[in-house]
Structure 1
Amino acid sequence: MPGKRRGSINRPPTPDAENNNQDREPTLQEIINIKLIESGEKERLKELLRERLIECGWRDEMKALCRAFARKKGKSNVTVDDLVQVITPKGRALVPDSVKAELLQRIRTFLASAAI
């Protein structure tokens, strides 16, 4: 449909699309996210993730998958949404377990130190 935006499974809903119930208590996930942002730990974790994904070759592999998809479909026929839809599941599956474990340990350490 023209004018209708397709939602992405990776993109949170826009604030106006959410139920803005100001009376509800924040969830534990929201509290943790706020603490991560306020402390600057979220940015440090994102940078660590970027570094690890580059080190293990994941980033180069994703670039190659994107290029192959664009060649297959024709460069002028590929949108960012197409790439996201096709590449995201593959990208998530290809993140090494060691990288996931390292990030999880860093989050656990943060949570223990923040007494959440």
Structure 2
Amino acid sequence: MRHSVNRPPTPDTRDDQEKEPPALKEIISIKLIESGEKERLMELLRERLVESGWKDEMKALCREHIKKKGRNNVTIDDLVHVITPKGRASIPDPIKAELLQRIRTFLVSATPL
């Protein structure tokens, strides 16, 4: 039997066995995206942040930073770098708790018995 020089090498079966299964976080993320739940959760988060005044606070922080640095000396990347940590830290706990509860409820309903 002649072997083709153009044929790719046969994959080693050990490579398939050594691959790790996807992490739980990745599986949850995939399920949320496939079901459309991620988009619904993102919309809920946007609504809650606006209702709580968080969005206005972040807008004020951005304006303050721009005023301090000068309009021509600030880039979007600069704003993102400065504001993101403050924004994440200032999300109200009740909003975080509500989102976490929604994710838990989704996972319970999506998990076959």
- TM-score w.r.t. length of structure 2: 0.80
Looking at structure 2, the residues matched to 75 and 102 of structure 1 have their Cα atoms a distance apart, in angstroms, of 37
1:26 aligned counterpart, secondary structure: coil
Q: Percent identity?
A: 72
Is 1:46 paired with 2:42?
Answer: yes
Is 1:115 paired with 2:84?
Answer: no
Which residue identity is paired with 2:38? K
Aligned length: 96
Gaps of 5+ in 2: 1-14
Alpha-carbon offset, residue 47 of structure 1: 0.1
> Which structure is higher in helix share?
2
1:98 aligned counterpart, secondary structure: helix
Aligned to 1:83: 79
Alpha-carbon offset, residue 24 of structure 1: 3.5
Deviating 4+ runs (over 2 angstroms) = 21-24
Name the Cα RMSD after superposition: 1.7
Query: C-alpha offsets along residues 9-44 of structure 1, whole Å, 9 cap, x if unaligned?
Result: xxxxxxxxxxxx984421111100000000000000
Aligned to 2:68: 72
- TM-score w.r.t. length of structure 1: 0.78
Is 1:106 paired with 2:86?
Answer: no
Alpha-carbon offset, residue 59 of structure 1: 0.3
Q: Which has the larger radius of gyration?
A: 2
